[in-house]
Amino acid sequence: MTDIQTLTHPVILDSEALLEFSEALVERAHEIERNMAKLSKEPENRVLIADIFRALHNIKGDAALCRVPMAGLIAHPLESLLTRLRSGEVSYTPLFGEIVLLTLDRLELAVESLVAARPVVQLKLVELVEGIGKISEAPQHDLDRLAAKLIKTVTGFQPQASLQYAIAKPSALAHPAKESMAEDLKFFRSLALQFETRSPLFAGRTERLRQLALDSNRKSGSPVDEVQLEAALYLHDIGMMFLPESVWLKVEKMSDAERAILRSHPSFATGLLERMENWQAAAQMVQQHHETWDGKGYPLGLKGADICSGAKLIAIVDAFEAVMLKHSARGHGSSVLRAVAEVNACDKQFAPEWIEPFNSVIRTMLER
């Protein structure tokens, strides 16, 4: 099998070994991202550079041992690039860091897709590997230009001088809803804000999700009723508060038992909304917001047109926020570019009609 085939249509050679590699990769990726966060503040720290190199070298070794050639092909050019950084031949820059982290994200996504029997062709792994190869051979003065070009090629987004995640808070409850529904919305919002207090990483989550979803809906011509959408956004994860915190605040890989517990959370808010007058559409959105376009979601395994439009939209903005949370939990802060790139790379899980409106809103946010 050629390298291109390995990167676009990988074959599982050993299922058990693949799972072992996947679990080890999560730990090593966490370690690299944590050290990359430190390196961004101490770019001359040779110990950090050596630790990052060693972790990536171990990933490459694990890939060979567990017979996952796709992972080895991705790790190899990145290892060559880090070898130059380690020797002092090139210096660290923020775009250098973005390339390392973006590649790490794609490696995790590719392995997750392989485990879940999902395609990887949309990840643009060939372009990524070839691009890193060129960067690893380029002189210092050309590194940032090539890095920015590769980021644009792989993600579709141009790197910005600042990628801080900031969405202005809108005025709350600006809807011509019935008086009783307006009161319900205030109650739903209070529950969402209570949910935010369960973790420092959740600060501002409610307004971020609300703004992204409502802006994406409007960008698409408002096919989803805004009042019902807002209610669903406030309540879709409230069920988490009824689950053990050790499960829903866990960043590391979950066990099958923990995953089963987590997947019960939509039923709590769905039951609440179904028992209240006027909120049936919101209840359906909450119940279905973890269903996926390819039918591999939960709780019912719905696919495509069987999923209501509001749930499809919530799935995208919720996934975006989850990726931002993952990066923050790993200590590297929030990169909008990496988060939106990861969401777009998982396009088979999301409704295609919502991808471009969502991307358009993100582009506007970055430009602003």
- CB-based contacts of 218, cutoff 8 Å, min separation 6: none
Does pLDDT of 65 surpass 70? yes
Domains of the chain: 3-155 (1.20.120.160), 179-367 (1.10.3210.10)
Give the position of tokens 């988060």. 339
Per-residue pLDDT of 110-168, as tens digits, reads: 999 999 888 899 899 999 999 999 999 999 999 999 999 999 899 888 775 443 444 44
Does pLDDT of 254 surpass 90? no
Distances (CA, A) of 195 to 188, 206, 245, 316, 351: 11, 9, 12, 20, 27
Residue 164's pLDDT is 45
The DSSP code sequence of 252-308 is: SPPPHHHHHHHTTTHHHHHHHHHTSTT-HHHHHHHHHTT--TTS--SSS---GGGS-
Cα 297 to chain center, whole Å?
16
Alpha carbon distance 218, 318 (integer Å) = 17
End-to-end CA distance of the chain: 46
Radius of gyration, alpha carbons of the chain: 21
Token code pair at residue 178: 């019935």
Percent of the chain exceeding pLDDT 70 equals 89
Instruction: Indicate the Cα dihedral angle 314, 319, 325, 329, nearest 10°.
Output: 150
The DSSP code sequence of 201-241 is: GGTTHHHHHHHHHHHHHHHTT--S-HHHHHHHHHHTTGGGG
The residue among 364 and 64 whose pLDDT is bigger is 64
Per-residue pLDDT of 216-230, as tens digits, reads: 999 999 999 999 999
Distances (CA, A) of 331 to 30, 38, 82, 154: 9, 9, 20, 24
Per-residue pLDDT of 300-342, as tens digits, reads: 999 899 999 999 999 999 999 888 877 666 655 556 777 888 8
Per-chain mean pLDDT for the chain: 87
Residue 358's pLDDT is 93
- Which stretches does DSSP call E strand in 22-106? none
Per-residue pLDDT of 260-281, as tens digits, reads: 888 899 999 999 999 999 999 9
Establish whether the linkage from the previous residue to 299 is cis, with ω within 30° of 0. yes
- Please calculate the CA angle 164-109-81 and round it to the nearest 5 degrees: 75
| Torsional class of 304: left (φ above 0), alpha (ψ -120 to 50), beta (otherwise) | left
pTM over 0.75: no
